[in-house]
């Protein structure tokens, strides 16, 4: 059994998609980041970086004892290697899959996150930061569009963990900007039609908070800002 510690976030949902696609037994341990669950000592003991998702796998091939793993890209690679699925075997194709997974981890995730922060969550508006990250999101979408104009999926002809990692971040963009990125929209529709993806995207929905983009943006409190990116986030532990 695998326990997924997370909530209704793209990073937790990409792991949930992989767990569903790979048909692994798993359960959700909800982490409410707006309430500060990620700062609790018991969670920091799992991930000293106090970020979700985290998995705890009770059945590690060839080893005794559970494995606790954080960083969503590392989790996807571990799950793919554990099950032998959704990661190409041939060296060239495998390297390309790693490339697009790292692109999501190093570019799409952080830049989309900064765009959301400065556009919707920051208490003070900074026009330069808003424009800078909005432009970067558009640039990254163009990179994805170009890749998907030449390949059915990000890593090539086969659906892989690179697609699982990227889809939760681009879905909302495709809802608003499909006409600008027809190849990305085509890919998004194909990936989103997969039953395992649909189940994975539902993860944490019962715990969705109204303060988030998906919940309707009712507005963060000062305490929530302190938890996410203020005094409580940066306090020594």
- Do 51 and 105 share a domain, yes or no? no
Task: Say what the pLDDT of residue 211 is.
Answer: 80
Q: Total structural domains in the chain?
A: 2
Task: Say what the pLDDT of residue 220 is.
Answer: 87
Task: Say what the pLDDT of residue 40 is.
Answer: 94
pLDDT digits (tens, 9 = 90+) for 163-194: 999 999 999 999 899 999 999 999 999 999 99
- Do 73 and 126 share a domain, yes or no? no
Task: Say what the pLDDT of residue 232 is.
Answer: 94
- Do 183 and 210 share a domain, yes or no? no
- Do 191 and 134 share a domain, yes or no? yes
Task: Say what the pLDDT of residue 149 is.
Answer: 97
Task: Say what the pLDDT of residue 63 is.
Answer: 85
For the chain, which residues score pLDDT lower than 70? none
Task: Say what the pLDDT of residue 54 is.
Answer: 98
Q: Please, are residues 2 and 19 in contact by the beta-carbon 8 Å criterion?
A: yes
Establish whether the linkage from the previous residue to 53 is cis, with ω within 30° of 0: yes
Note down the domain range covering 137: 91-198
Phi, psi of 3 (to 5 degrees): -100, 125
Q: Please, are residues 57 and 66 in contact by the beta-carbon 8 Å criterion?
A: yes
- Do 221 and 179 share a domain, yes or no? no
- Do 131 and 166 share a domain, yes or no? yes
Task: Say what the pLDDT of residue 236 is.
Answer: 86
Task: Say what the pLDDT of residue 108 is.
Answer: 98
- Residue 57, beta-bridge partner list: 2, 67
* Residue-wise DSSP of 67-83: EEEESHHHHHHHHHHHH
Task: Say what the pLDDT of residue 208 is.
Answer: 83
- Do 45 and 66 share a domain, yes or no? yes
Task: Say what the pLDDT of residue 209 is.
Answer: 86
- Do 220 and 144 share a domain, yes or no? no
Q: The pTM is what? A: 0.95
Strands of 25-66, DSSP E: 26-30, 54-57
- Do 192 and 101 share a domain, yes or no? yes
Which residue, 22, 32, 220, is CA-closest to 120?
220
Task: Say what the pLDDT of residue 213 is.
Answer: 82
| CATH classification at residue 57 | 3.40.30.10
Task: Say what the pLDDT of residue 66 is.
Answer: 95
| CATH classification at residue 171 | 1.20.1050.10
- Do 55 and 79 share a domain, yes or no? yes
- Do 118 and 184 share a domain, yes or no? yes
- Do 95 and 191 share a domain, yes or no? yes
């Amino acid at each position: 059994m695998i326990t997924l510690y997370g909530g209704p976030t793209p990073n937790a949902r990409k792991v949930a998609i992989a767990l569903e696609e790979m048909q692994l037994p798993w359960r959700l341990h909800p982490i409410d980041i707006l309430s500060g669950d990620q700062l609790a000592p018991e969670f920091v003991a799992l991930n000293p970086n106090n970020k979700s998702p985290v998995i705890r796998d009770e059945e590690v091939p060839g080893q005794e004892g559970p494995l606790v793993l954080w960083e969503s890209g590392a989790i996807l690679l571990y799950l793919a290697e554990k099950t032998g699925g959704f990661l190409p075997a041939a060296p060239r194709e495998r390297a390309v899959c790693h490339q697009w997974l790292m692109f999501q981890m190093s570019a799409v995730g952080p830049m989309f996150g900064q765009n959301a922060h400065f556009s919707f969550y920051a208490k003070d508006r900074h026009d330069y930061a808003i424009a800078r990250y909005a432009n970067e999101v558009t640039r990254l979408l163009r990179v994805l569009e170009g890749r998907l104009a030449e390949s059915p999926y990000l890593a090539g002809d086969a659906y892989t963990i690179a697609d699982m990692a990227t889809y939760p971040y681009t879905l909302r963009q495709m809802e608003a900007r499909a006409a600008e990125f027809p190849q990305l929209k085509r890919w998004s529709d194909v990936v989103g039609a997969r039953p395992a993806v649909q189940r994975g995207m539902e993860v944490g929905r019962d715990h969705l908070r109204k303060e988030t983009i998906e919940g309707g943006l009712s507005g963060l409190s000062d305490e929530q800002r302190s938890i996410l990116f203020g005094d409580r986030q940066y306090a020594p532990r």
